[in-house]
Amino acid sequence: MVKKAVVESLRCLSYPLRVCLRPFGHLAFVVAVWALSVSAALLGRQDDLGGFAGRLRDAIHNHPEVTRRGVRMAWIAWGVVFALACSPLDPVTRFA
């Protein structure tokens, strides 16, 4: 009985944390796809790493349902962080 209550309380606490951290995961995914695109363009298809990066980038871009939500969430996360940085409530300059 106690174990079930502990599991339920952890589940209730982890949901808000996941909701807050999910946009940053999408942002990291978008940055990773961008890095693949840049490395494929810089190295070219003749290089082994460039060819692999290009094929991986093409495989990811062939599935727009994977990248569409990630791009949207990345822009939303960027907008929220930018608005926070521009506001008087900026945590960096507030405590510095």
Q: What is the pLDDT of residues 41-85, one digit of tens each?
A: 898 888 888 888 888 888 887 877 666 777 777 777 778 878 877
Q: What's the length of the chain? A: 96
**Integer angstrom CA distances of residue 5 from 11, 19, 63, 74:** 10, 22, 41, 35
- Domain ranges in the chain are 2-95
Assess contact for 50 and 40: CB atoms under 8 A.
Answer: yes
Confidence (pLDDT) at 25:
78
CA 50/CA 11 separation, integer angstroms = 42
